[in-house]
Structure formats: structure tokens, C-alpha cells
A and B are shown apart, each in its own frame.
Chain A
Amino acid sequence: MTQELSIPRPSAFSSVKTALFNPATRQKLLAFASLIVLMAFFTAASSNFLTTDNLVSILQSTAVNGVLAIACTFVIITAGIDLSVGTMMTFCAVMAGVVLTYWGMPLPLGILAAILFGALCGFTSGVLIAKLKIPPFIATLGMMMLLKGLSLVISGTKPIYFNDTPGFSAISQDSLIGELLPALPIPNAVLILFLVAVGASILLNKTLIGRYTFALGSNEEAVRLSGVNTAFWKVVVYSISGGICGIAGLLIASRLNSAQPALGQGYELDAIAAVVIGGTSLSGGTGTILGTIIGAFIMSVLINGLRIMSVAQEWQTVVTGVIIILAVYTDILRRGKA
């Protein structure tokens, strides 16, 4: 009898089982279900919700937070946190303004500058955290203030407009998809969000960088003892995250056709909320980009829907707070049972 029992089970079955038992997967399923329920609710509550215009507006408003949340996902999977993504985004937008408007360089250089300055900021945070051993919360809190200040200093506290670079607003606002399929006027910002998400997903799941991102969050000491240069990989993760913030900076500057130096603070909390609603654990080791995207959509659908139902803005904020607490609490409940 023992012999019979020791036959290994089919591996396909066990991996399905593993997947179902994975808290991140369950959270993602739940998050997706919540998104559907929310949309059904708002559709029933207001005839203005399920219209092309409104859906496009939701997509548009998700783009910036979605990209920022993707940046945060990397850092949070390593069991770190990044409070500087909001002001880093603004800093990158300002630097794009410097390159394009102040210096009159061509558009591609402005795009490159935003992403590179983002990566540089991320690199700095990474060094502070991995080499100088400053806790991520403090290091990125410092970076948050530092970058906010720098943006104001560099821009002279005034917005930098991109009127001399006509193609700039097209980055976010035109619709390549709409040109091909006029029925689907999906703005480029959403296309970029989609591309960043696909790229980030591949990076996380198919490459060495992704493997170490998860491994660091799961058990950093074990990774170190396995002979991996953990400090190096941490810096890489923060740099990538910074580069993605640069993309968010381009999106928001393009949407406003200006770099607004006073903007940015507060965006980091929305981004972290989207990540957490999407099932990425703040204690590290688990998380998915798809979950984060769903999380970002839940937040923007909620805000959009409440606005359409004419709920006062103050109350929108209250509801958002409650939703975040509920999302995390249901996750804790399920983890406790597992």
C-alpha cells in the first residue's frame, strides 16, 4: 500500500493546486471580481457610467497611477517601499521640460531624459538603501522631499510649458488605436500603460531581474548566502522602478502639456494603494503586475463612479480610504485561514 501511495502525483495537477493556493492569485481573482461588481453597480446606478466617453476618461485617468503603481510593485515585491515615486514623476517631467523647452532639444531626447533621470533617482534611492543600509521608508521619504524641492528650484516654481514641442502632447492624448479603429478612441497613455505593463510582466516573470526581485522579498539573507550580490540587485530594482516613474512623468506632463513642479505629492499613496489592492504583499515575495493594474482600475472606477453619482469629493476620499482598508483586511483574513 505504501508503494502505491508513493507514486508522485501528476505535476500539472500540483502546479494548478499551487497556483490556487497562492495568496497573490486569490487576491487577484478577488480584486478582479470586485472590479466587475463595482462596474456593474455604477452601470446600474447611473446611465452615464457605461458610455464610451466615460470609459475612455477612466482609462485615461488610470494611466498615470497605473504606471506609477507598476514602478511601486517592483520595490514592494522586494519587501521595500518607495514614497518618492510621486515627486520623482514630477522631477522627471520637469527635466523633460528643461531639455525640450529650456534647451530646445528634439522630442526623443526629452523622452530619454525623463526616463534616465528617473532611473538615476531610483539608482540613488537604491544605493542609499542597499549600500548605506538606510531603511527604505526613510531613504525614500528623504528622496520624496529632496526631489520635490529640486523640481521647484529648477523650474523656478513655475510650470514649464511644452508649446514649442508640438508632438509632446500627442504622447498621452492622441490615439494611435483610434486612427486604426475609429470605434475605439483609446488614448495613447493607455497604450503606453499597457506596454509598460507587458514589459514589466516579462521583466518580473521571465528574467533574472524578476527572479531576484521575488527572491529578495522572500528571504534576503538566503539570497545573500547563495552568493548573490544582493546590494547590486536591489539597486537595479530601484533603478528600474525609477525609470518607470520617468515614463509616468512623461504621461502626466503630456496630458497637462506642461510640467507642474508643485504636483506629485500624494500620488505615491494612490500607487501603493493600487499595488496592495492588487494582491502584492507589503511583506514581500509575492505580487503581480496584472493585480496592480486591476488595483489601479478599481481606484479610478471608484472615483469616477462616485463623481458620476454626484458624491461630494470629500466623501470620495473617505470611500477610497475605506476600500483600501477592506481590501487589505480581506487579504489578511484569507492568509490567516491558509
Chain B
Amino acid sequence: MGPKDLKTAMVSPLVSLTHVSKSFAAVRVLDQVNLELLPGEVHALMGENGAGKSTLMKILAGVYSKDSGKMLLDGMPIEVDSPRAAQHLGIGIIHQELNLMNHLTAAQNLFIGREPRRFGLFLDEDTLNAQAREIFDTLHLQLDPRTVVGTLTVARQQMVEIAKALSFDSRVLIMDEPTAALNDAEVADLFRVIAQLKARGVGIVYISHKMDELQRIADRVTVMRDGQTVATVAMASTPVDRIIAMMVGRELASGEHAEIPDTSNAEVALDVRHLNRGRAVRDVSFTLRRGEILGFAGLMGAGRTEVARAIFGADPLDSGEVRVHGELVKIASPEDAVRHGIGYLSEDRKHFGLATGLDVETNIALSSMRRFLKAGFIDTAATRRVAQDYVRQLQIKTPSVTQPVRLLSGGNQQKVVIAKWLLRNCDILFFDEPTRGIDVGAKSEIYRLIRELAAQGKAIVMISSELPEVLRMSHRILVMCEGRITGELSGNGATQEAIMQLATKREAPVANNQTLAQAA
């Protein structure tokens, strides 16, 4: 133990969570978790997706309620039954997903729920804007508080979220992947603010996957795995390898990479040239061969989903050519795309991939219904037979094919979507965040399935924000930033650092895009 640890050990904890448990439906997501946060400490919370980090923090911030366990603030037991209660206790949170009101201005977003007022009811917009400007200034954020949030880039929206959490004078501040959409300069600003907060004695819980960031700012790190705390260790004195080993529960399983098959001579299944769609997709070109898994990496809002949607015909293109198996095709709608054998598995399964109220067999047969028509009527016996085949083949865990899809787990829902596209004879498949919201066990099954599909000669694009996943799965990796492809990496040699560098390779600071456009 270094001298620093001795010093912190004498301070009484600001927050301590003991034996906190939580289940959603029948799934236990937190199992007797313990966590201790000291004043003036940056406490990293690490673990694979689905390990329970965000859930634990949402309990502390009053978003979810715990099933059992104790929470202490300054040694006193607390009940945090609402976000408002958390705010009163001085517990602030920056959520991973953006929680902004797009129609309101930046200042209005910052102070929602505690607007400065005259005579109790009337809003004092001048004070509001002045106070917002002050907070932006401490963040070195050049942003007019009166800007409507919906017109900002994702990175700037994220900065507004951060400003909002800071504006609460919180004693406990939870940051859930705050830098996911920030560039280096913005990250530096954030870290400077974090240092200020530390000096004021604020305790910070910092959830992140980025090891280099954590090494710069974290004092201690608590690792979670499968809903349990593995250990809490000092960041400086613990080797990175050991932390990763604790996270995955086995020695560097995340580094494992299936052998990359040589597909360089395989037929080109998809050839995309100079795709453009507004500012979201800019001059995107790539080829995809049969049997290949092509990873798309990048930050939130980099345009990866937009590329997939444009190719799939879900959004109209401004310009560009798409060739399927060498043949120039015009795809104006998802219907066209499916006819050419392109399937798209949306990141938001519930909204775009599945009719969750309907049963498994209907969902599987949904886009192939025509095939099951007999004299105008649906041949239910045939759909059932086919659905049962896929349930067996893909090992979909469901009591029967008449089970409503919403009752299935995330991983099995994903498999239903896969079955749907396979039945439709799609041999070019776009997986958009295929493992989002899926628990760790089911993840590896989805990975295996994707690999099998590739081995069968399907051409696969995998969009993922989880770098370990991209690295583990991809034969080749394309990295996007602000609508452009900023680089290509081979699946073998790629590192998280190399991807991040390409993912933040902006042309110009975001703030100036409008000025540039004006000048042009």
C-alpha cells in the first residue's frame, strides 16, 4: 500500500453501499454488491457490459429502487426513491444515454426542475441564461445558452449533460461513460473540471471502459462481473492486465480472436461507392466479401447506423452507388434491399426489428409471408414447421413458437430477428449493436452464431460501439468519424488505441462547422 492509500483509508466514506441486490423480472442483475466512495476520490467502476455498473449507479441516483441492501451517506442510512430525492441529497448523475429535451435551449435544459423565477411562477430567463453561461465558462464551453439543444452535435449535447450534472453542486457525482462522444480537447476540459471537483471534496464514481483515461484520473477501481463486485483496488498500483482479468473472470479472454479466414479471393457481395447523405454520411466507400465480418467502429453519432440505414433503403440517399454481387442496384426502400438479399438487424430491436407483441413464429415468418400463402390464406402449419426448424437450429430458448416475443430474453429476441432474415434468404447482414442489452452468457452465443453465418458464406457488417467486441469479431475494421470513414484496420493487428485515434480524427473543431459553412 502506498502512502496515498494510507491517507484515504483514514477518511470516513462519503457513500457506502452494502449488499445491494436488484432483479428485473426474474433476472438478478445485482447480487449483494458493495461499494465505498470517499470524499475527493475518483472511483472507477469497471466491468463488461451487463455486469451491473449502470444499474447500481441508477439505484444510487434514485432511478431504480433496490430490492435489498443498505445505502449510507456520511454514515447515515438513506432511501433514494426518486431522482429528486437524489438531488436533494447531493447525488448527481450523468447518464450514459443522452437525456435532453431537444426542443428546449441549453440553459433551459440545464435548469429544468429548478428554474430561477420571479413572483414564484414567472420564469427569469435572463438569470437562467446568465447562470448557464457561468457554468459553461467553468467548463470552457463556448456555447450560447439560448441554443436549442436539438441543433447541437452529439458531442456538444454530451457537454450540456455534463454541465447540467455539475450545476447541481453535487457532493456525489456519477459519470456513466461521459467521454463516449467527446474529442481529446473536450475530454481534457472535463478532466480539468473533475480535478476541481476533487479538490472541493466531491466524490466521483466514474464508469468507463477506457483504461488510459482511468489511469489518468482514477484513484481506486472497483471491478464488477455478472452483477457482483469482484474487488476494489488502487488504480496506480494495479497492472491493467489484472484489472482486465478481474473483469472477464478469465485470463484475457477479451483478447482472444478466432482465426481470421482468408476471404481475399471470395466473391464481393457488396460494393459501396461514394455514399452521401447530408452531413451524416459523407463519401463512404467500402467492399464486403462473402464469408467476411466487417466491423464498423466509431463514437456515438459517427454515422455508422446512418450508413447501414442508407444502404438498406430506410433513409434516402443523396448520391452513391451500391452493387450487390457485382450488379448495380437501386435501393429506394427496405423492400428493395430485402429483395436483393440485404438484411438489417437494428440496434433498437423493440422498435424496428420485432413485433414484440406477436409470437415467435409470426415474427420469423413476417418478411417471408408471401411464401406461406396457399390460395390467399396463410399456411400456418408450414410457418410453424419452419419456425420450429429455426428455433432448433439457432437454439432459441422459448417454450414454444407461439410464445410472444416480448417474453423472450434480449439474446433470444436477437436470434428471432436473425431467423427472420435467414428465412428471407438474406446473405448480406448488417448487425447494428447486436449485443446491446444482452447478458454476458448470451453474448458469446450471438458471437458464435455470427461467426457460423460468416463461415457459411454470408457477408456480415457488424456495427458496434464496444471496442473489445469489434476487436474480437471483425476480420477487418472500418472506423468512422463525423460521417466519414477515417481508416481501415486489419482485425489481427488492431488495438483499442488505434481505433480511438481514428474515431476522433475530426476535420475541424465541431464548434466551427457552421462558421466554416458560412465562410464557404
Contact = CB atoms under 8 A, between A and B. Distances in A.
B122 interface: yes
A149 to B, nearest CB: 32
A219 B86 contact: no
A33 interface: no
A2 to B, nearest CB: 7
B121 A208 contact: yes
B449 to A, nearest CB: 32
Contacts of B103: 214, 217-218, 285-286
Given A6-B512, A214-B104, A225 B121 contact: no
B92 to A, nearest CB: 10
Contact of B100 (A21, A206, A222): A222
B112 A226 contact: yes
A227 B121 contact: no
A11 interface: yes
Contact of A224 (B83, B86, B516): B83
A227 B82 contact: yes
Given A5-B508, A6-B509, A227-B87, A207 B102 contact: no
B117 interface: yes
Contact of B113 (A14, A15, A209, A226): A226
Contacts of B144: 8, 11, 14-15
A211 B514 contact: no
B420 interface: no
B170 to A, nearest CB: 12
Interface string A174-209: 000000000000000000000000000000001111
A18 B101 contact: no
Contacts of A18: 146-148, 151
Contacts of A222: 99-101, 112
Contacts of B142: 6, 8
A48 B164 CA distance: 59
A300 to B, nearest CB: 29
Contacts of A6: 142, 509, 511-512
Given A6-B512, A218-B102, A222-B99, 18 more contacts: A5-B512, A5-B516, A15-B144, A18-B148, A21-B151, A206-B123, A208-B117, A208-B122, A210-B123, A211-B104, A214-B101, A214-B103, A222-B101, A223-B101, A225-B63, A226-B113, A227-B84, A229-B84
30 contacts: A2-B509, A5-B509, A5-B512, A5-B515, A6-B511, A8-B511, A11-B144, A11-B146, A21-B151, A207-B121, A208-B117, A208-B122, A209-B121, A210-B123, A211-B104, A215-B104, A219-B99, A219-B100, A222-B99, A222-B101, A225-B99, A226-B113, A226-B164, A227-B84, A227-B86, A227-B87, A228-B113, A229-B84, A285-B103, A286-B103
Interface of B: 63, 82-84, 86-87, 95, 99-104, 108, 112-113, 115, 117, 121-123, 142, 144, 146-148, 151, 164, 508-509, 511-512, 514-516
